[in-house]
Structure 1
Amino acid sequence: MTLEERRAWIRLVVAVVGYAVYLVVVLGRVDGGPLTSVSYAAPLLWTVGGAIVATILAEVAVAAANPRASQLKDDRDRHIGRLGDQVGQPFVVIGAVAAMLMALLDWAPFWIANVIYLCFVLSAVVGGVARVVVYRGSVPEW
């Protein structure tokens, strides 16, 4: 397994776990009231920040565990990275457009923030899955 494939796995797992933690925390605060009244900002910021820190620490740990692994990216790694970005990027656009429309329609900030977060997570997950699948198979021809 190449270093870039390990990084793809780390980012994929961290995105899923981070969002799952966020959902558990926010849904655990509902307590019978409306979902939009739940305090979500701090858990959202903490899980995003925690995911960033967890990704960095995991990547450092993987690099330290195998210091002789090549740090170089070859053409295959670049193609796979580009493919993962191209597959995941539309979810960022979808989230931005959805958030803009929700803001124009005066939706609650809870829904706007959560659709943006969900689309960031979907972008990371779908892009990560694409990278892992291609690493396990072959790079498609353009």
Structure 2
Amino acid sequence: MTPEADSERVPMTFEERNTWCALILVPVSTLAYFAVVIPRLLRQPAAEVAWVGPMLWSIGAVIVGTIVGSIAAAIATRDVKAETDVRDREISRHGDRLAQAIMGFGAAAVLVLAMLRADQFWIGNALFLIGAVGTTWGAVAKIRAYRGAFHG
């Protein structure tokens, strides 16, 4: 990279920083959740697996981690734009469209599970996984848009 290219770097926005937090925290907390729940599922029937507590901890960890990560990044970096501009809004819509498409198809799968009267364990975990996948891929799309040439 040439010095000129480095000096023309666009400062990271508040939205981009939060997207990075989500991109890291959602997959990590989802994997941690399944690392706790899958061994339980292997030892006992799905209807007896305690999954609600670990899921709430996982969701809470993402929320708290995003807040803490955003604050820590704001303290550590001085080149963050606080205001949201048109580009941020367009990139956010772009990533959200992908996330919503994934979650829409996933909601149909969850609806089928409900129609088949699947155990709450399977319905809850399918919805949780679909939300995590949708959020992660939406964040990937946003980061790619921030780091590449975005043409809304």
Which position in structure 1 is the counterpart of 2:26?
Answer: 15
Seq. identity, %: 34
Which stretch of structure 1 is more off in the superposition, 1-10 or 102-111?
1-10
Task: Report if aligned partners of 1:22, 1:43 keep a CA contact under 8 Å in 2.
Answer: yes
Task: Report if aligned partners of 1:36, 1:111 keep a CA contact under 8 Å in 2.
Answer: no
Task: Report if aligned partners of 1:84, 1:131 keep a CA contact under 8 Å in 2.
Answer: yes
**Which amino acid in the other structure matches residue 143 of structure 2?**
V
- Distance (whole Å) between structure 2 residues aligned to residue 96 and residue 12 of structure 1: 22
Q: TM-score, normalised by structure 2?
A: 0.84
Task: Report if aligned partners of 2:74, 2:80 keep a CA contact under 8 Å in 1.
Answer: yes
* 1:2 matches 2:51: no
Indicate which of 95, 99, 120 corresponds to 1:88. Answer: 99
CA distance 1:67–1:137, change in 2 (3 Å): closer
Deviation at 1:128, TM superposition (A): 0.5
Which position in structure 1 is the counterpart of 2:119?
Answer: 108
Deviation at 1:36, TM superposition (A): 4.5
Is there any run of 5+ residues in structure 1 with no aligned partner, and where? none
Q: How much is the aligned-residue C-alpha RMSD, in angstroms?
A: 1.7
Q: Deviations over 1:107-134 (max 9, x none)?
A: 1111100110011101111100001111
Is there any run of 5+ residues in structure 2 with no aligned partner, and where? 1-10
The higher radius of gyration belongs to 2
